Amino acid sequence: MKRLFVIGDSTVCLFNDSTYFYPRYGYGTQLEKYLNDFEVINLALSGRSSKSFKLEENYQILINSLQEGDYLLIGFGHNDEKYDDPIRFSSASLDIENPNSFMYQLNEYLLLANSKGAIPILCTPITRYNDNNQYNINCHKTKYGDYREAIINLGKLKNVEVIDLTLYSVNLYNKLKEDAIYFHAVPIGKKDNNKLICDFSSVDKTHINILGASYYAYYIVTNSKLLNPYFNNKKAPTKELDLIMNPKYKYVEYTIPNLNNLEYKYKDWYYTIFGDIGTTIDKAGFIFEDLGDSFIMGQVGSLCGKICLTMEGYSFLFKKLSIEDNFILEANFDILEAKGLKDDSFGLMVRDDCYLNQKSEKELHLSNYVAAGMLGLQSTSHVIFSRTGFSELNKGNNIYNSKFRINDKCYAKIERLGQRISCDFTINDNKYHNDFYDFDLTKVDNKNMYIGVFVTKGTKIKVSNLSLKMTGKALGA
């Protein structure tokens, strides 16, 4: 059996979208269903560029696994365009000899394939969905060059096959017009006469769904001179047969909080308590004290609220931002009280939705978020964690081999830069870091995100140097 390795970005990779109405699928996930006697090894990663992919473990897997006679499909471009992100950006206007060029970064994969005796194939990036239903071949041309053209030129220079998915997707979408929307992922559903239907107002304009992924995979296999001999003659995908709603999707009634009902609690920050807090809001035992240049947040007395697999409850000092905003949020923490309880937690958070002083023991508040904070276990703590679905609490790999304690000093930072969210956390000089790529902050509220400080049961913290710096608008996925 032949092997096809696949590398690339979120338009290529595998997702685990339990929350989307129409989940995200990269076209790399559908290639195998159109090939005879092929094993497809999809190493593509969401949010990566041809440059940043080389920093990942999957790149090392590629180096160690690629063998003579294997095929290597390469699909980068979307994130190489992110000129505001030095980790991912490479310029399409520079020549192949310049390490800062897109061609240079791509050529390193060609050199790797040649050194292993493997056969590379280059793909240009697909177009993004456009509300005006007009698509142009220059969709991946920026002030730093034309990324489609750079791939085509590299293919000519190195005599490597190029599959022009940019041209194909532009022509296809111009033909489909408003029906092009059915190729793309959609996070949210809505009720229409008690029937659950897709809410296309939340369409993801970059990421494709299983129908789009199948179309592009079918096109690649049938139009590649190298892969077409192995085409299994399966029929082309259709909307009727291949567009599938997520059977795990759960509809949530949600109203964007009216902040006019709140007064500022600390400078221009709001304050709320929500989720599984165990009792009524007024008896939950959460406290807040404004000290002028700092403040105290905590939960004392009844020990309500926690973060665990099935329920959550906490107090949250927050601001509402547009989903398009980039920012840097930072704060210092002094632990004033820590009862050492399981599921206790504190830190900074960016989340999908927010609720105003609302008690609930149900799934309502188990929403998507990233936390630069600590989550207590029996005798240790997880540092930097996230939730990506109603029961999917991702504790991460950072372990602090102790509970957080009185007099511990901590620092937390969350930086959002387009589709990359970077988290840093320090406790007593122990430093932790994690990056989240293409993290879904649109599951419930697709227009806003909510950032701030949170705390759960049995914990009291002094927060100082709370700083929010707005750093422009995101360039998109």
Segment 242-282, tens digit of pLDDT: 999 999 888 888 889 999 989 999 999 999 999 999 889 99
> What pLDDT is recorded for position 389?
74
Distance between CA 72 and CA 5 in Å, rounded?
A: 5
pTM above 0.85, yes or no: yes
Distance between CA 339 and CA 178 in Å, rounded?
A: 57
Note the CATH number of domain 2-242.
3.40.50.1110
Distance between CA 15 and CA 33 in Å, rounded?
A: 17
Distance between CA 454 and CA 373 in Å, rounded?
A: 9
Pick 259-473's CATH classification: 3.40.190.10, 2.40.50.100, 1.10.630.10, 2.60.120.200. 2.60.120.200
> What pLDDT is recorded for position 144?
97
> What pLDDT is recorded for position 109?
98
Distance between CA 274 and CA 361 in Å, rounded?
A: 10
> What pLDDT is recorded for position 364?
59
Token pair of 257 as six digits: 């909080």
> What pLDDT is recorded for position 458?
94
Count of beta carbons in the 10 Å neighbourhood of residue 282? 9
E strand or H helix at 141: strand 141-142
Distance between CA 318 and CA 285 in Å, rounded?
A: 19
Contact predicate 370/386, CB 8 Å: yes
> What pLDDT is recorded for position 477?
65
> What pLDDT is recorded for position 440?
87
What average pLDDT values come out for the chain (477 residues) when binned by 10 residues?
Answer: 97 90 97 97 97 97 98 97 94 97 98 98 97 93 97 98 98 96 95 92 94 98 98 96 91 89 94 92 94 96 88 95 96 96 95 92 78 93 90 89 95 94 96 93 91 97 98 83
Domain range annotation of the chain:
2-242, 259-473
E strand or H helix at 153: helix 147-158
